[in-house]
Chain A
């Protein structure tokens, strides 16, 4: 019995021990904290935190943008045409044979086109200029490649560069002219197409197949949402039967002029094809702090990852040129490490170092804006300062500034670069410093 009693005592004690949870007593008197941490800010000019800035371009293609653009002398300098290529024709239609008394249909693969029309649907929200707009359509005569074509080049792939005979995808065989009043109630126009042109487009081996759509009115800028080819065909089995068939565009892109002027040392991000700006970081191990940082006497501030509570890259916006390629909408800019810093151009990019892209108002890229924009990058700067543990991959010192996805839109964001005086890029680092947790 004594053992049972002892067991009960032990159990009750264990029960008591397990049923209690300590909660530490708390004061709100900061004077009781026995250490005096200081939170300070260090601002490093570009060449104090980076070796160089590298600008890259040519990523992605305007063909991957939703829809396409037509413009003429938009903001005085932007011309843009849309190129459309339609897909395979139906390989057969089904008709009721002549004299048949039943509704049974038979396949007819030898049908012939007799007429058609190219229908263009506009994005009625993205329309600039004074209605009524006049559009021209023409059949492209030169082989072209949808992912690489540009205002000057029909094809610009590795080992195959071919210019347009006339810049802007010319010459073309005119299909017609159509007008649009720009009203939301009517969001489309069409151009008649003759049977011969349709028959040519049926041959999918012809690389010149396609329609060029342009606007003729200066100051116009209209986004095309979609294009379709609707054509009528006559049956070879029953010539009295005419069938109307619709085909949406298979490939659509935009070509534009002028190209972005070379940027002298600044950041250019976005566009289509997209630009990237790559910063090659080289953080110092410490900086000499002045009285504003250290108090009464100068001091050396050592950079350690656990001290960094915030880091942000400060860039001043710059007026984008040409004017027609200034951002019209909010642009989201991301920062992603270049995984192979020795092959920056072709290197894949790592995961973003930000929680979300930094979204920038388009007005900041207009005349005289020169506005400071901050890109938070605390974790990346901490990782750069961290010593590499055995077996861990080093953090790439090359960081690419890119749009949230490529291409974001045709327009680009530009920022002042190193050597631009008061608009010099700055790395802002906020640190908390203590002398350690001293014993009593």
Chain B
């Protein structure tokens, strides 16, 4: 098989894999999204996911949402997209899941600088409650069906710059804004047989548009060819949720903490790398803006993984990865802290290379994890597929 034919068939294989491996009708992310501002949707691409990392300090040069400096060494225009279907199994046996694009980015190098634009996910807010209940109206029982639904999510759009200051040191900066909308609705339908034939549903809907400033700073340092160390800080102004589309709800303003990340990669042996990553954010200030102050305060994530890059198929490098990670969710659920425990694995495929530089690559990461909060326990299987194409 020629490289060109391989490259042509690859996207078709991706589509086949994603469709066969996951249900066609993807479902929402997590009932835990009902806590606080939602469930964080980290904009990590497939390689970070597979290696249990925090999306920072990986070897090589990449367009990573959490690591602005990682793009400094990209010498060709690039686009990257990450697709993420998942399935969640709830403690009561029902299935849930989602499908989304957590990262979309494009980069253009100019004069030794790399300029990029990036759309990335931040918070997921899709969940609903359906409840049948008996209301007491004037002393009489009336059956009613309630539906509370939250849809939408908050993301970020960022413009970035990265540059290699020396062969071993790179820096990156980004500025951006929150984007996205959130819609919450409540519908109550009472049973006509209990009230009267001309019953109308009660519907109340609120829609909010997200806004707010963000900025990021990253640094990557290669003290020697076998080690990379990176750190990044992401600052955020207040996240502002402004009602729109005729709704009369109140405006919400939330302090978002600085997100600190550090990570690195060590080459243990030829073709074998160890990556570690940690992140930290103190959500206490956000808690003061929430009605129920339901944050856990400091939220940590840490993980590690191995990459074995000596595997080849028909002359193409196919690195194999495994990892594990623990992530604290920032918001309490039913008054209890929630954490995710994840084991992961994945592969990468370099389809096209020119002079040792991959021009088209596919990364696949699969995570198997669990999380629990209050009466809600969830197991999830999450696949992340990242595609990067470079060229002039």
Contacts and interface: CB of A to CB of B under 8 A. Distances in A.
Given A25-B96, A355-B198, A9 B360 contact: yes
Nearest to B151: A24
Contacts of B208: 439
Q: Do most interface residues of chain A lie in helix, strand or loop, or is the interface mixed? A: mixed
B191 to A, nearest CB: 11
B11 to A, nearest CB: 4
Given A13-B83, A23-B28, A436-B204, A40 B137 contact: yes
A11 interface: yes
Task: Give the interface size bracket for B toward A.
Answer: 35 or more
Most chain B beta-carbon contacts within 10 A, residue among A20, A25, A39 = A25
A297 interface: no
A109 interface: no
Contact of B8 (A8, A25, A32, A432): A8
Interface stretch (A199-207, A324-332, A374-382, A410-418): A374-382
Interface in A349-407: 354-355, 374, 376-379, 382
B352 interface: yes
B34 A34 contact: yes
A35 interface: yes
A109 B133 CA distance: 81
A114 to B, nearest CB: 62
Given A22-B26, A306-B203, A307-B202, A41 B131 contact: no
A434 B186 contact: yes
B24 A20 contact: yes
B250 A436 contact: yes
Interface in B108-126: 126
Interface stretch (A79-87, A150-158, A177-185, A308-316): A308-316
Contacts of A33: 129, 131, 146, 148, 186
A376 B197 CA distance: 7
Interface in A1-30: 1-2, 4-6, 8-9, 11-13, 15-17, 19-30
B98 interface: yes
Contacts, number: 206
Chain A interface: which size bin? 35 or more
B380 to A, nearest CB: 11
Interface stretch (B12-20, B66-74, B268-276): B12-20
Contacts of B290: 440
A438 B250 contact: yes
A1 to B, nearest CB: 6
A27 B127 contact: yes
B129 A12 contact: no
A248 interface: no
Given A12-B14, A438-B291, A312 B200 contact: no
A338 B199 CA distance: 23
B195 A310 contact: yes
B376 interface: yes
Given A20-B99, A29-B129, A437-B184, A5 B200 contact: no
A13 B387 contact: yes
A33 B188 CA distance: 12
Given A32-B31, A354-B198, A439-B249, A39 B190 contact: yes
Nearest to A437: B206
Contacts of B25: 20-21, 23
A17 B81 CA distance: 11
A310 B389 contact: no
Given A5-B7, A35-B148, A378 B24 contact: no
A378 B199 CA distance: 7
A376 B198 contact: yes
Given A32-B34, A440-B36, 15 more contacts: A9-B389, A16-B83, A19-B24, A20-B99, A21-B26, A24-B127, A35-B186, A309-B199, A310-B199, A310-B200, A354-B198, A355-B198, A437-B184, A439-B249, A439-B291
7 contacts: A9-B387, A16-B83, A21-B25, A24-B27, A25-B27, A28-B129, A307-B202
In the A-B complex, the 9 residue pairs with the smallest Cβ-Cβ separation, listed nearest first, are A25-B96, A376-B198, A12-B11, A439-B252, A30-B131, A437-B206, A432-B202, A20-B99, A24-B28
